[in-house]
Structure 1
């Protein structure tokens, strides 16, 4: 153990392997501290939760000890983009530095891989509309398919992410033929699974990890018993990702898709052996009627579903439509059951329909007290969702394999064939590392640890090496319209305009609601015409990556600076170092919406045991979101900028101190004059006064 930890420390020293490979590398105490903590967890077994501030270098901090441990390693990231970066850049670089002969693999979900069988069907025109643009995209896919080795769609940049060609050339769990597929052996997904099972280091993403705990089809569940070290990077997304897969979902889009496939497959393989047209038409009609039963509910609304019918809907209309849908699906399955043995496609179609009917039946009964149920209203579709309130039980029983109260511990899986691999009871300690830049605003990191069932874990907080007091400032107006009012959004737009004009753009506006996004974006675009010196980019008016790339170019791209107005996914994972971004404006405090069914249920759960929902849930949620948004500003040691939070509650309410304390230790600007001076200094490229 001592030699292992000493080797980890040596790797981060001034004359270690990293410094020799990177001449500009400088030892950072926080990075070494985290690496040693990870090494100790690997050596002794157990669970480590690390909040590592921006700039710590947490990727190397967990990879170096994991790779030097000699154990099989599984790393899970929040997004496929981070997964690609880790697998293509960070891992090969470190493996080369350390001189380790390790096999590496990455594994994604089924929709990320080309399906050769479905490509063949599309090539024959089966199921492919004869649209010229779609046919051009299909030609690009065919050309790429002849040369790709991985079948990973991320390689194919000539076809847009939202292209209608993808459903034609990828499979889903519902329509995959499995071992009956003529392309089963060379299938790109199966090849990736086999490579993962044979690798020393495997990189996956959170969605795949939790999905596989339920369906056990991707290979992750097979891999886990032989893994010695598991790392969850960007772990702050773990709870919200996990509950998506721990619950139950059935939507009208799924049902409509099933109806289309039902008609196509039965006409191809069992024509004349059933009234397939009528059965499909009945299913399509009842799905449409269920959508109409939601009445005039607003798009994006989540209707609580505490009884037999979602709140606010006519009970008689909903129940009649729901029952008719169940009967139509049952009738289709009954007829399909008479012919399913005729073809593998029909057997798969029957199993898929049975699963849909089981999920639909669940929503015909009263919900569980340990879960929350709601109806998601879309512009064209509905989604019925039942979800647990947290993943605590899943983490304890399915990952850490603690026995639930009153039950015996689970039997460990068999050790892998790789020498030395296996579970802790097979001679290896099993180490779990959870890390992110934002995991809590208290010493226990309870915002993360509590819903993830990790209250007994070892906790470490490593501060950012950035000199925030020197590099950044935060400004909160002393007087401003109340958040949520029309005057507030208008004043935010005016503040952004005044400030961005000083900087010539370089401004990111983060809003907490779609309505504020639209109002602020429209107000700013009305101020700047086509030939003005500043261009206003608004989320939703172009793909995310297109907006970010244009923003990064700034004046170098078109001679016009940029203001980007965005919400939701832009609050995190957006990296624009250097002068491209120097002003971040947050319109108001990002408290979770109290009328959201999940938020309401979690609040009620806390209140039921005598805790404060506001103090123990609402405030920590707002603090973490605020921390994520503020984190867009300073990404490198040379960055400088100003953060503006246009919400007077930060200075007027007692809880504002807690939210301000959650931010990086930026210097405070207390007046508009000080704000103007700070912006002018940024524009002039001068340093702030000490």
Structure 2
């Protein structure tokens, strides 16, 4: 078996099989740290700067080790990239025959039982979904994996997908007549038999929290668990360690009752009427909140008499469905499953009629049609610490953005990982030569109305100097839309705005048009890898402090204050630093890249905490002069033009 030095050296296995591979000391150091964590069954937290090659740095020791490993990534896209692109390359280089598997959440797999339920009942499906249902049926005849991501003609948010996939709630498990042919069961069996399983954070924590049948058996067998993009974990884990109930769940139960009434339980008219009454009471609860989607403190709204009254009516309506459904138990497997879900909804609704929940934040969020009630723990540190310490295994947490002020303290406290080993590895890129950081002079304060016009003017100058090739990143949808609208009349470049189509489609359009400009919010601050001449300028509208009206953040700030802490310094600043680092990380992705990062926020110059932000960014040359930025971008354009002439 080769040593890690032999794998990563200039004449090693990776150099032999990958064109242009160059050894990086930071990559070798990280691989050795991962190997120690696996061999000694301890936890290690690694910040690996952009360009370190962290994916191969953890894949090599995982492939060379003997036990089972789970690798968890931030998103499904990264999961697929890791499994289909990176893993085959390094497996081939190491001549490894270890078995690998890709496992997604259940909502990604066709449920043949639910597809069959919609066989001859087109009256229950909206007309615009019928065409999508036809596409799914055609694909279902040929698919081997049942992964609905294979259907490229359907949008990611196609309305048909919830009808033909299962949830933890409505899955019949072993009672399902299609259990033997279930695509989810097959995917999980393959994962059980594999040496290395690639999952994503949502799946990992959903199954950890729910102890869902099948995947829950994977974790105890794993001798190593690697979290890539680990900076996302605290928020995702919090979501799954809490409780939630939504009017959408209630609506779905009502729809399924109607489906059963029209197919196999035609004498259960009373149940169908009770289900419809429950659906209407849930819809009436949503009507008590503003039309525009929002988040808020649930306890405060529970003090409103009309909300308390409507919650009581909804609970009564669910109780009636419970009583009537109970009369029909044993007649149909799907109905028995519905009864279990009604029991759960009843129990969860009861949680939200009292405000006595220590250590929890009760909050709500509304969508155009629904309301979701959340109960989220203010801290998951103790729970996650117990989980990590419950078994002897190696734990690896890695990301390009974990450190604040040269310390891992913020991440360690949030995850209960105070005793974990840490390693900080700088990017191999020469930022002083490759990049310029500008905080423009004479800007209004971020909250002042004049700031919007300044953003438009700065954006216009940057787009002109770089002839497109810009990402304009915003901390709010409103700011993004206003700047996009104003730029329409001021620049001739194609303007691509987040939300107009899918993230992947926007990126494809951006890369296809050499003069395009892309405007985005949160989705484009991370997980986007645009290299070379295609991106030479990133503008960030202001420091990305979380919205002060976010109810969960408010609860955490109050809890910190109550315990004698400094909420601004220990919660708000570290989170904003990590988000800023993510946005800034879009700029330089390759040793040959050059570009400008422009942050339009005076606070980076005027506030005492500015140094915490600046000290966490890569060591770029700094300026406050936009003219210097324009000159840099024009020179970059000339260099690109000269390169193209030389090539032709």
* Number of the residue aligned with 1:178: 173
Deviates more, 1:272-281 or 1:385-394: 272-281
Measured in 2, the distance between the counterparts of 1:60 and 1:394 equals: 31
* Number of the residue aligned with 2:16: 20
Which of residues 510, 517, 525 in structure 2 aligns to 1:563?
Answer: 517
* Number of the residue aligned with 1:121: 117
* Number of the residue aligned with 2:556: 602
Deviates more, 1:145-154 or 1:243-252: 145-154
Answer yes or no: is 1:360 the counterpart of 2:349. Answer: yes
* Number of the residue aligned with 1:394: 383
* Number of the residue aligned with 1:554: 513
Task: Give yes or no for contact 2:257–2:272 (8 Å, CA) kept in 1.
Answer: no
1:394 Cα shift?
2.5
Answer yes or no: is 1:197 the counterpart of 2:156. Answer: no
Which of residues 468, 485, 500 in structure 1 aligns to 2:431?
Answer: 468
1:590 Cα shift?
0.6
Answer yes or no: is 1:31 the counterpart of 2:27. Answer: yes
Measured in 2, the distance between the counterparts of 1:65 and 1:461 equals: 18
Measured in 2, the distance between the counterparts of 1:482 and 1:506 equals: 27
1:58 Cα shift?
0.4
* Number of the residue aligned with 2:646: none
Answer yes or no: is 1:301 the counterpart of 2:294. Answer: yes
* Number of the residue aligned with 1:321: 310
The 3-state SS of whatever aligns with 2:587 is coil
Answer yes or no: is 1:539 the counterpart of 2:498. Answer: yes
Measured in 2, the distance between the counterparts of 1:465 and 1:552 equals: 26
Measured in 1, the distance between the counterparts of 2:245 and 2:126 equals: 30
* Number of the residue aligned with 1:406: none
Measured in 1, the distance between the counterparts of 2:442 and 2:283 equals: 50
* Number of the residue aligned with 1:330: 319
Measured in 1, the distance between the counterparts of 2:458 and 2:405 equals: 33
Which of residues 361, 370, 374 in structure 2 aligns to 1:385?
Answer: 374
Measured in 2, the distance between the counterparts of 1:210 and 1:122 equals: 31
Answer yes or no: is 1:105 the counterpart of 2:64. Answer: no
Q: Residues 215-364 of structure 1: matches in 2 within 5 Å?
A: 215-217=210-212, 219-294=214-289, 297=290, 299-306=292-299, 310-311=300-301, 315-364=304-353
Measured in 2, the distance between the counterparts of 1:598 and 1:468 equals: 37
* Number of the residue aligned with 1:412: none
Task: Give yes or no for contact 1:535–1:562 (8 Å, CA) kept in 2.
Answer: yes
Measured in 2, the distance between the counterparts of 1:614 and 1:51 equals: 23
* Number of the residue aligned with 2:140: 145
Answer yes or no: is 1:587 the counterpart of 2:583. Answer: no
Measured in 1, the distance between the counterparts of 2:184 and 2:459 equals: 47
Deviations 1:305-362 (A, max 9, x none): 34xxx34x76211111000000000001100100021110110110011111111111
Moved over 4 A (4+): none
* Number of the residue aligned with 2:207: 212
1:207 Cα shift?
0.5
Measured in 2, the distance between the counterparts of 1:120 and 1:269 equals: 13
Measured in 1, the distance between the counterparts of 2:433 and 2:333 equals: 66
Measured in 2, the distance between the counterparts of 1:190 and 1:127 equals: 31
The 3-state SS of whatever aligns with 1:114 is coil
1:126 Cα shift?
5.4
The 3-state SS of whatever aligns with 2:580 is helix
The 3-state SS of whatever aligns with 2:28 is helix
1:267 Cα shift?
4.2
Answer yes or no: is 1:510 the counterpart of 2:510. Answer: no
Answer yes or no: is 1:673 the counterpart of 2:627. Answer: yes
Task: Give yes or no for contact 1:592–1:618 (8 Å, CA) kept in 2.
Answer: yes
Deviations 1:453-491 (A, max 9, x none): 111100000011111111111100121011133311121
Measured in 2, the distance between the counterparts of 1:584 and 1:367 equals: 46
Measured in 1, the distance between the counterparts of 2:150 and 2:576 equals: 37
The 3-state SS of whatever aligns with 1:592 is coil
Deviations 1:582-615 (A, max 9, x none): 1111111111122212211222222223221111
Measured in 1, the distance between the counterparts of 2:573 and 2:24 equals: 32
Measured in 2, the distance between the counterparts of 1:589 and 1:174 equals: 40
The 3-state SS of whatever aligns with 1:202 is strand
Which of residues 44, 54, 64 in structure 1 aligns to 2:50?
Answer: 54
1:298 Cα shift?
6.3
Which of residues 40, 53, 67 in structure 2 aligns to 1:44?
Answer: 40
* Number of the residue aligned with 1:95: 91
Task: Give yes or no for contact 1:537–1:565 (8 Å, CA) kept in 2.
Answer: yes
Deviations 1:93-131 (A, max 9, x none): 212211222111111111101112222333433575363
Measured in 2, the distance between the counterparts of 1:48 and 1:195 equals: 28
The 3-state SS of whatever aligns with 1:275 is helix
Change (3 A) 1:479 1:642: same
Measured in 2, the distance between the counterparts of 1:34 and 1:121 equals: 51
Deviations 1:210-238 (A, max 9, x none): 11012222533201121111101111100
Q: Over aligned residues, Cα RMSD in angstroms?
A: 1.8
Task: Give yes or no for contact 2:404–2:616 (8 Å, CA) kept in 1.
Answer: yes
Task: Give yes or no for contact 1:78–1:237 (8 Å, CA) kept in 2.
Answer: yes
Task: Give yes or no for contact 2:461–2:630 (8 Å, CA) kept in 1.
Answer: no
* Number of the residue aligned with 2:616: 662
Measured in 2, the distance between the counterparts of 1:144 and 1:545 equals: 22
1:301 Cα shift?
2.6
1:77 Cα shift?
0.7
Unmatched 5+ residue regions in structure 2?
642-648
Measured in 2, the distance between the counterparts of 1:631 and 1:68 equals: 30
Task: Give yes or no for contact 1:269–1:342 (8 Å, CA) kept in 2.
Answer: no
The 3-state SS of whatever aligns with 1:341 is coil
Task: Give yes or no for contact 2:102–2:198 (8 Å, CA) kept in 1.
Answer: yes
Unmatched 5+ residue regions in structure 1?
402-422, 425-429, 556-560
